[in-house]
Each structure stands twice: as structure tokens, then as C-alpha cells.
Structure 1
Amino acid sequence: MEEEFEFEFNEDAQNSVERYEEMIRNEDQYFFDAQAFEYIIDNYIEKNDPVKALQVIDYALNQHPYAAVFLVKQAQLLLFTNQVDRAFAALEKAEMLEPSEADIYVLRGNIYQNMDRHSEALENYEKALTLAETTDEILLQIAYVYQNMHDYENAIVYIKRSLEQNMENKDGLYELAFCYDILDKQEESIQFYQEYIDNDPYSYAAWYNLANSYHKLELFEKAIDAYDYAILIKENFASAYFNKGNALVQLDKYEEAIEVYKQTFEYEPPNADTYCAIGECYEKLEQMGEARSYYKKSVKMDPKMADAWFGIGVTLNFEERYFESLHFYKKALDLDEENADFWFAMADAHYKLGQIEESIEAYYKVVEFNPVDVEAWLDFSTVLYEQGKLVEASETMAEAIKNNPDAAELYYRMVAYMFALGKSQEGVDYLENALQIDPQKHYILFEYLPQLSNNSTIVTIISKYIK
């Protein structure tokens, strides 16, 4: 029965459109009932021809001047063609004719929302809520306004109300995940999705969002299980495969991750991100040829993929092709010039090539863009120390400690520099600090300057902390 009705509907619609176009060709005036006009207008909207649709509305309003439905459609099209003032005017007329029509207030709310006039948008949506038969979409619109106001708590309230009415609304589930993410309330989000799944165990979107929340809490095993459920329900869910691959990477399961990343290609065309992710897995497995080939596929697809350019450099560096690696690090830095990891790799390659000044310049960039990278500070000061720049090495270490006051490694290194500069009392002060933070790491001191293990003052102080 349903198919037969759809056929009649299509036939009626088609006849109406043909009659209308015949009327235009004949420059005549035919009469159409309101339903026929709606068919004709929708036909042009579907064909993405707002100008013709607006023309039909003019005819419709001539023949049916009290039908608010045409004024609402007119407002929609005027809004689509950026004629905001005229859209407002059409809605005003529609409201006078039929003040209980919810669509009037929804559309007016949309306009105010686009203009960032939040309170007026909310006022109209609230009015629409009292008039509409189904309100899940309106509740979602209200949530979007609160999001734009950065009031994510209220946004969550309205998204949940929307989902209570329509469990199938995937947009609502994703928006809710976004709000929980912004508020960093992953535990609450997990609780919500678990309750949601109890009511609707076949919602792939709920499983997917649950998995993402587990992922953000670094509960990777649980995340993988939830991604698997999402994939079980929706086999072609490429994003779930990709994120599952990311979770496997976090567990150092690189071979499995590669397989899962490759599965995305069955359900969507390969993209630069996935190629790059596969490249990183091969890099971690030290299969540098494979890694490089995937990184190259990535940049071929998207030349702005900084991580992939960098990855090519890393594979060359691994093969001790330092000079070649610099070229690719530079390409990565051209795209992302404040990336401390890229500068760190540059500094290291220059150092290995004996280009000490360039290496020092690059290290300055590393610690400027990531002052909490303890490893970088240690390497940077080592380069200075090896060049006989003892004072600069100690000044660099002082700066490092200022940025990382809880990193014992830096204090132990500073002890070595102070003793090398003949400032033994200052060295002892730094040693006391280091031992208070982490006495177990005292071996770092002797690794760096083995001769200090014969220094009785140092040995005595350490023995107070190490039983």
C-alpha cells in the first residue's frame, strides 16, 4: 500500500510541475490548490533553484493569500539567499495569519542564532517548543545556542531532553560527546552512554562515543571493546576502525593497528591521516622502508601533512642519512613552525652532522615552544657543555629548572655543572634539592661526571638519603 501511495504522490507532483511549467511557457494563469503549489516549490528546492522556488511562492501567495505555509517557505528561501530583512518580514506576516505555527518561531530562532543574538533565538525556540508536535530537533537547536554561548552545562541538559524523545538522533549523541569533552567530564559521559546503551543496545553511535570517552581516560582495552561493538552493529563504520587503530597504538600493538587502519579502506577511500598513521606504526616496528612508503602516500594525497613529511625525515635519520632527513624536517617545519618535536629532530640531525651552531639555534626553538621538555633541556645543555660553554650550559639548566621545578634530573645535571665550574657549595645545594625530589635518580650524576663518585662530600650527602 505504501509504495502505491508514494507512486501517486510522485505522479501528482510531476503533473503539478508540468502544468506549472506549461503555464509559464504560455504566459497564462492556471489555478493550483495549496498542495500542488507545495509540490512545485519543493521540486525547485530539491533541484537547488531558489530563484524559481521564490517565483512559485509569489504565484502561490496570489492565489492563497492566507496560507502561512507559503510565507514560511518564502522566509526559508530568503534566508538561504541572504535576504535576512525580507525573511523577517515574511515571518511577521505568517505570524499574523497563523500564530500557532511552530515553524515560524523555529525559523526566526535560526535567523537570530546565525546573528549571534542568543537571547532572542532562545525566546523563539522556547515558543516553538510549546506549539510543535515533535520537539527533539528544537531542543537540539536550543542546545546549539547554549554551545555558542559556551554554556555547555545547559547545552547538555537540552541534548539529553532531545535524546529522551528521539533515541535515533545521532547528531545529539555526537554533540553530547563534544560538550562532555569540553567540560572534561568523561566519567559522566561514560555513565550516560552506558545507560543509553541499556535502553538501546544497538546504537552504534552510543557505543562509539562510549569508546571515545574510555579512550580519553586512557582505558584503551575498554575503548577497543566498545569500538568493536560499534563495528559489529555498523560494519562500514570507518571512524570506529580508525579510532580503534589509535587505541591499539597506545597499547604498542602496532601490527594489529596496521590491520585495523587498513580495514578503513574497505569502507571509505584512503586518506592522508590513515596513511600517516600506518606509517607511524611501521616506524615504531622499525620497518623503515614500509614506513617511508606510507608517509609518501600520505603527502602525495595531502602535501600539507606535516607529520608525514616529518615521518619521512625520521626514517632517514634512523638509517643515519642525517643530511637527507634535514630536508624533510624543514618541509614539516614550513607547515608547522612552532612544533617543538620537529625542532628537536632538526637540532639532533645538525648535531650529528657536526653543525653545532645550527644545532644550538634549533635547541633554542625547542625549549621556546616546549619549555617542559626535560629531555630537550638536558640535550641542549650537553651540546653547550661539550663546546666548553660551561657558563651557558649552567644558565640553560637554571632556565630549565625554572620551567620544570619538580624534575630531579635537571638538578642532578646542575650539580655536575656547578662542580665543573668550581662552585662546589652551590653544587651541594642543588644536590640537596635533587635528593629531596627523587633520591633514586642520583646515579644520573655519576653517569654524567663519573669522577664525582670519588667526591667524599657528595658521597656523604647521598648516603643520608639512600639507606
Structure 2
Amino acid sequence: MHLDYNEEDQNLSLSKFESMLKTNKVFFFDSEEFEDIILHYLDMGKATLAKKALKLGLEQHPKSTGLKLVQVEILVYDDKLDQAEKLLNELYAIEPTNEEIYIQKASIYSKRDEHEKAVEFLKTALKYTEDLAGVYNLIGMEYLFMDSLELAKENFIKCLEEDIEDQSALYNVVYCYEFLDQNLEAIDYLKTYIDKNPYSEIAWHQMGRLYYGVKDYKNAVEAFDYATLIDDEFIGAFMEKGKALERLKRYEEAIESYQTTIDLDDPTSYALLRIGKCHEKLGRKAEALKYYNKTVHEDPLLDKGWIAITDYYIGQKSFQKALYFVNKALAIDDQNRLYWKRFGAINKAINNYEEAEFGYRKAVEYGDIQLDTWLFWVDMMHQMGEYNNAILTLIQASEYFPEEAEIEYRLAGLHLSLHEDEKGNFHLSNGLRLNVKHLSLLKEMFPMIWELKSVQEFISKNKK
């Protein structure tokens, strides 16, 4: 790569400095060279070399304000805030209009979690700096630390007004809008921004994300299209475009978009999984399975890949294979309620009632409080003859679903099976009051109870 003058100059300075360290010869550098060398090492995380360069620099240029400001930066980096502040006060007495003094003061107060004071110093720095964009960006960050998102957004926007190419500020503006649930306002802002900077692939990509967030998938696709036209290797935009196309049920185009991400870089398990899902939606079962297998080959720890294969085999009613693959997913994430629910359903389908009961129990334990999960769980206990446990579980379920006929009819059948007629009739009465149509549950699940004369008489008397 061709280096411009500054890069070449810096590389020569670095080579010369490192040669000096190796040979113990003393070479002369001007103060700005030392500043560049020190900041280079700080950026590289080589604090020891930065400190060596600072020491030599101050020996050669003891009165250099620039080097002393770099010294402040190192002191702040080392959390020696009091020393840094003392040195800044000395520099302030010499150069009260040097914006870097106020910026470093702000950095100290920010480290002390005194963000309001940091903002005050940064606002003073605005009076003296030529880098307005940089200072507005720092003010925005301080407001972010204070969770003052509106003020943060305002300053990041000011930063972009000074430097329209500042991508970090653009990301931060969008972040603030999103955090404030102002997606539509964010889209309006980006339209204005794009009017001034139409070839910003980042802006188009962010607009696509925002449109996707408000479920305007058509405009999302259009925005991602612009992002990929500007940068035809923008993998993130191709990936997001694929997601939006899926939402529009344009599965062939979605496959093409995901495939582009694979062509541009190594295959990702996510792209392979989504391609598989698209093929499945198009009815290409074998092709879908091929991609699901590629997914787990690419990333054996991607539980969603194993679940996709599980669901494929559930659809094929190949429950033994489905059981094998759901266990693969659970080995990776054994606290996923949806996986446990599948585990329960698969075992239920092959009459493994104990395993099915365990699966539904774990699903509820990990937060699945859907009515059907409770009922499947109870039905497994019923099949196993665990009537008392089934009753306790239904009582627990009724806390979430207090007026649910399906719960009441099950409680009626279980209590009557245990010869607890008073309780059984109470729940049967509740069921009849709530929904007569579900009375068939009693007949299907408790046929012997249904046939009892006393039960039929009670139903006739209480049925409305």
C-alpha cells in the first residue's frame, strides 16, 4: 500500500526511536514527533514504550505543553487523577486558551463519574477548539453516561453537522433515537442526512434497520439495496436484506441475498440456517435439510440449527430422529423452554409419558406459562395415573388462567376419579358456567366418569 507523507514520516520516526532503544544512542526528535510516537504506542496498548518515549521527550523538550498534555493522558490512563489534575492546573496558568486542557479536565471528571462537570469543561473547550465535531462527540458521550439520551442525541447531531463523515456519531444518533423509541423520527433524520450525504452506505443500512424495526419491510429492502449498491461487499446489509425479503415472503430473493454473504466471505451458520428456512417455506424439504445439516456442520454449537432439524423431522413424523436432534439442542441450551416443550411433544407422540411429563415440567420451570403447555403437562400426569400431582399442577395453572373451562373440566374429572364428589361437582359446575362446548373434554379424557349416572344427572341439572 502506498503511504502518504505523514505515514512515511511517522514510520521513520518510530524506526529511529526503536533503533535508539536498541543501541542506547540518543537521537534528537522534535516535540511533535515525540507526541506522535507516544500516542502511537498508547493506541497499540504498549504503555511501557509510551512512557519511555515520554520520559525521553520531556528530557529533550522540558517546556513542551504538548508533551505535558500527553503526560496528563498517561496519568489519566493510569488512574493517577490527582497528579493529572495538578499538572493541568500548571498548564492552565501558562496556556488558559488551550482546548486540550479543558478536554483532559473533562476526561478526569468523567473518570470520577462527575459527568456534569465534564460537560462544563467540554463546553468551555468549544470556545477554543477548531475540532468542534470531536468535542460535540465527547459531550454526547458524557450525556450517554448520564442516560440523558435527548441531550446526547442533540450533541451527536451537532457533531455530524460539523463532520458529516463521522460514522461513530451517526451510529450514536441512531442508537439514541432507538433507545427513545423514536424509530420514525430516526428515519426522518436519516432522510435529511442522506440528502446531504447520499453515498453513505452506513446511513442507508441504518435506515433499512429502522424500517425493519417498524415492520415496513418493503422500504427496508429498498434501503438495504442502496447500501449494497454503494458498497457491493457490505455483508451486513445483504444479511439484513435477506431477513426483510423473508418477511415479504420473497424467499427466492432472500436466498440470493444470503448466498451473497457466503460468496463474499466464509459461510456463516446463520446464513446457512436462513437459506434452509427459505427452502422449507418453498416446499423444498430435502434442500432445506441439506442446509440445516450444513448449518450444524459449520457451527455444531448453534442450537437453532439442531432445532431446525428437529422441526423438520417432527413435520415428517419421524419422532425418533426428532428426539435425537432435540437432545442435541438441549445439550447446548438446557434452559430453553421452547426446546423442552418440543422434547415433551415428541415424547408424547411416541407414548413416552414419563419423558413427556418431564419435558413439559421443565418448559414451565423455565418460564413457559402458555395454557397448552400446562394442559399437556397435566395430561401426561393423568396418563401416568398421578391424579393428585395433576390436581396440584392445575391449581397452579389456574393462578395464571383463573377463568378457564379446560382447567375446570380436568379438575372435575380428576377429583371425581378420586371419589371426591363435592370438589368434582364444584369444578364441573364452573366448567359448565364458563364454556359448555368444552364439556366434551370430560367425555374424551374420563370416559368412565362420563358414563356415571350421577354425573349425567348433575350435568342435566346444571347445564344452561
Residue 242 of structure 1: how far off its partner (Å): 1.2
Render the CA deviation track for 1:299-355: whole Å, top value 9, x for unaligned: 444443221232233233334343343343233234333321111111011212322
Question: Hey, what does 1:209 align to over in structure 2?
Answer: 206
- Across the aligned residues of Structure 1 and Structure 2, the Cα RMSD in angstroms comes to 3.9
Contact 1:173 1:209 in 2 (8 A): no
Question: Hey, what does 1:329 align to over in structure 2?
Answer: 326
Render the CA deviation track for 1:80-132: whole Å, top value 9, x for unaligned: 56766665555455444433322333344345445544334334333333332
Render the CA deviation track for 1:140-167: whole Å, top value 9, x for unaligned: 3333333333332332222222223222
- Determine which of 54, 58, 68 is the counterpart of 1:61: 58
Please state if 1:189 is matched with 2:186: yes
Question: Hey, what does 1:413 align to over in structure 2?
Answer: 406
Measure, in 2, the Cα distance between the counterparts of 1:331 and 1:85.
Answer: 56
Gaps of 5+ in 1: 435-441, 462-467
Contact 1:428 1:458 in 2 (8 A): no
Contact 1:144 1:155 in 2 (8 A): yes
Contact 1:413 1:448 in 2 (8 A): no
Letter in 1 for 2:118: A
Question: Hey, what does 1:223 align to over in structure 2?
Answer: 220
Please state if 1:161 is matched with 2:158: yes
Letter in 2 for 1:417: R
Question: Hey, what does 2:253 align to over in structure 1?
Answer: 256
Render the CA deviation track for 1:206-243: whole Å, top value 9, x for unaligned: 22222222222222222222222222222222111111
The 1:460/1:14 distance shift into structure 2, 3 A limit, reads closer
Question: Hey, what does 1:233 align to over in structure 2?
Answer: 230
Letter in 1 for 2:234: F
Letter in 2 for 1:411: E
Question: Hey, what does 2:267 align to over in structure 1?
Answer: 270
SS in 2 for 1:187: helix
Contact 2:41 2:47 in 1 (8 A): yes
Deviates more, 1:84-93 or 1:306-315: 84-93
Letter in 1 for 2:176: C
- Taking the TM superposition and a 5 Å limit, the aligned residue runs for 1:51-450 are 51-79=48-76, 91-114=88-111, 116-285=113-282, 287-386=284-383, 396=393, 399-404=396-401, 411-414=404-407, 416-417=409-410, 420=413, 426-427=427-428, 429-430=430-431, 433=434
Measure, in 1, the Cα distance between the counterparts of 2:148 and 2:371.
Answer: 37
The 1:247/1:414 distance shift into structure 2, 3 A limit, reads same
Deviates more, 1:91-100 or 1:345-354: 91-100
SS in 2 for 1:61: helix
Measure, in 2, the Cα distance between the counterparts of 1:86 and 1:268.
Answer: 49
The 1:301/1:129 distance shift into structure 2, 3 A limit, reads farther
Render the CA deviation track for 1:346-385: whole Å, top value 9, x for unaligned: 1011212322112112112223334442442343344445
The 1:449/1:49 distance shift into structure 2, 3 A limit, reads same
Measure, in 1, the Cα distance between the counterparts of 2:10 and 2:140.
Answer: 36
Residue 79 of structure 1: how far off its partner (Å): 4.9
Measure, in 1, the Cα distance between the counterparts of 2:97 and 2:135.
Answer: 15
Measure, in 1, the Cα distance between the counterparts of 2:216 and 2:443.
Answer: 41
Gaps of 5+ in 2: 451-455
Contact 1:159 1:172 in 2 (8 A): yes
What TM-score does the superposition give when structure 1 sets the normalisation length?
A: 0.79
Deviates more, 1:288-297 or 1:252-261: 288-297
Measure, in 2, the Cα distance between the counterparts of 1:249 and 1:321.
Answer: 27
Residue 134 of structure 1: how far off its partner (Å): 2.1
Contact 2:354 2:384 in 1 (8 A): no
The 1:395/1:353 distance shift into structure 2, 3 A limit, reads same
Render the CA deviation track for 1:53-102: whole Å, top value 9, x for unaligned: 32222222223222221122233345556766665555455444433322
Deviates more, 1:202-211 or 1:105-114: 105-114
What TM-score does the superposition give when structure 2 sets the normalisation length?
A: 0.79
Contact 1:66 1:97 in 2 (8 A): no
Contact 1:272 1:302 in 2 (8 A): yes
Measure, in 2, the Cα distance between the counterparts of 1:186 and 1:444.
Answer: 44
Contact 1:414 1:427 in 2 (8 A): no
Contact 1:136 1:166 in 2 (8 A): yes
Measure, in 2, the Cα distance between the counterparts of 1:266 and 1:35.
Answer: 46
